[in-house]
Amino acid sequence: MRGRFVDKLKGEQAENSVAHYLITGVAGFIGSHLTDALVERGETVRGLDNFSTGRIENLAALRHRIDLHEIDLRDARAVAAACEGMDYVLHQGALPSVPRSVKDPRTSHESNVDGTFNLLEGARMAKVKRVVYAASSSAYGNQPGFPRRETMCVEPIAPYPAQKVMGELYMQSFWRVYGLETVCLRYFNIFGPRQVPDSPYSGVMAKFILQMMQGEQPIIFGDGEQGRDFTYVDNAVQANLLAMHADAEKVAGRVFNVACGERHTLNQTYRLLAGLLGFDREPEYGPERAGDVQNSLADITAAAEAFGYRPQVGFEEGLRRTVEWYAKEQGVRSRV
């Protein structure tokens, strides 16, 4: 079945005009926003997804404007075939969530480490010009010292951050050894429209918004004073597009924080969301989550200097846009 699919893909590549951008995790939260931006710019996009967490609805109107393939990153042969003819790769595909990786480290390891390796091998063989990789702020762990700078060592706690760091190391290795240009973007808690809100592994922002809209009581794990550098998705899109085309001497083989450079606690975030949604219940607190990072705050000067990254959408504006989007999606009226 797989073999036939790969042959079909190869045949299509020969016949069709070749797409230049490959997005892995194309139907996912961040991948689909990148797709919107690239298609809007008139670029040609090929997208891969195994639809384990990605959703076809995220691609909506673009479904027929991109070259979409159902491929699992663990399928080395299919991934390599998909890389053929590509110039640039945006590697967003991963099995996210710290708690998921604590519960089932093998499955997330296979997607996040083996999958990233398969992608790099495919990109190297296909002579791709550059790969931009979705790395994670969780790499910094709980070491002292804020804001987080890329020069700090990594101290991953849970399997998920360890896997994402492994991906960074592979990215850097492929640059050093094979000259494949790679750039790692450490995302700091990206949020916005299309983040899965209803899974036990959902990011806190989407999860709380849906719970408040449905009149359910969100639970804050711990005392709620843990802080995050929550970053609206448009900022991550901007960072990817800039990093993809910046001078190689400024970015190749390097790691950059992508964030807003502000820390907001969960208690603050809860109050703001509750205000936007007219949710009047006080937060409830539960036990701390295993593998959780206490605080997260980025220094974003490296990305600003290397490729002119400046967050365009601040935290509160991002919250408003996100709530507005979910309200529309759920058909629930909010006070936005």
Among 78, 220, 303, 313, indicate the residue that binds ligand UD1 (CB under 6 A): 220
The reply to whether 318 sits near ligand UD1 by the rule CB under 6 A is no
Q: Which residues pair with 134 in a beta bridge?
A: 185
In whole angstroms, what is the distance from residue 332 CA to residue 197 CA?
Answer: 15
The reply to whether 303 sits near ligand UD1 by the rule CB under 6 A is no
Q: CA–CA distance from 200 to each of 100, 203, 315 (Å)?
A: 9, 9, 24
The reply to whether 221 sits near ligand UD1 by the rule CB under 6 A is yes
The reply to whether 232 sits near ligand UD1 by the rule CB under 6 A is no
In whole angstroms, what is the distance from residue 321 CA to residue 305 CA?
Answer: 28
User: Of 175 and 191, which CB lies nearer to ligand UD1 in the complex structure?
Assistant: 191
The reply to whether 188 sits near ligand UD1 by the rule CB under 6 A is yes
Compute the least distance from the CB of residue 241 to ligand UD1, in Å: 19
285, 242 contact by CB (below 8 A): no
User: Of 60 and 219, which CB lies nearer to ligand UD1 in the complex structure?
Assistant: 219
The reply to whether 204 sits near ligand UD1 by the rule CB under 6 A is yes
Residue listed under structure tokens 């993809």: 244
Residue listed under structure tokens 């206490």: 294
Active site residue: 160, 187, 232, 309, which one? 160
The reply to whether 92 sits near ligand UD1 by the rule CB under 6 A is no
Contacts to ligand UD1 from residues 100-159, by CB under 6 A: 136-138
Whether residue 160 lies in the annotated active site: yes
251, 243 contact by CB (below 8 A): yes
Compute the least distance from the CB of residue 317 to ligand UD1, in Å: 19
Q: Where are the beta strands (DSSP E) in the chain?
A: 21-24, 45-49, 67-70, 88-91, 130-136, 181-187, 190-191, 219-221, 227-228, 231-232, 254-258, 264-265, 284-286
What is residue 193's DSSP assignment?
A: T
Number of residues that bind ligand UD1 (CB under 6 A): 22
Q: Say which amino acid occupies 68.
A: L
Q: Mapping DSSP to helix (H, G, I), strand (E, B) and coil, where does residue 76 land?
A: helix
Structure tokens at 313: 């959408």
The reply to whether 197 sits near ligand UD1 by the rule CB under 6 A is no
What is residue 279's DSSP assignment?
A: -
Contacts to ligand UD1 from residues 249-278, by CB under 6 A: 266
The reply to whether 187 sits near ligand UD1 by the rule CB under 6 A is yes
Residue listed under structure tokens 């008139």: 42
The reply to whether 290 sits near ligand UD1 by the rule CB under 6 A is no
Compute the least distance from the CB of residue 291 to ligand UD1, in Å: 8
Stretch that binds ligand UD1, among 74-82, 109-117, 215-223, 240-248 (CB under 6 A): 215-223
Among 43, 110, 292, 324, indicate the residue that binds ligand UD1 (CB under 6 A): 292
Length of the chain equals 336
Binding mask 38-77 for ligand UD1 (x = CB under 6 A): ----------------------------------------
What is residue 283's DSSP assignment?
A: P
User: Of 20 and 289, which CB lies nearer to ligand UD1 in the complex structure?
Assistant: 289
75, 117 contact by CB (below 8 A): no
The residues annotated as belonging to the active site are 160
Chain residues binding ligand UD1 by CB under 6 A are: 96-98, 136-138, 187-189, 203-204, 207, 219-221, 226, 228, 266, 289, 292-293, 296
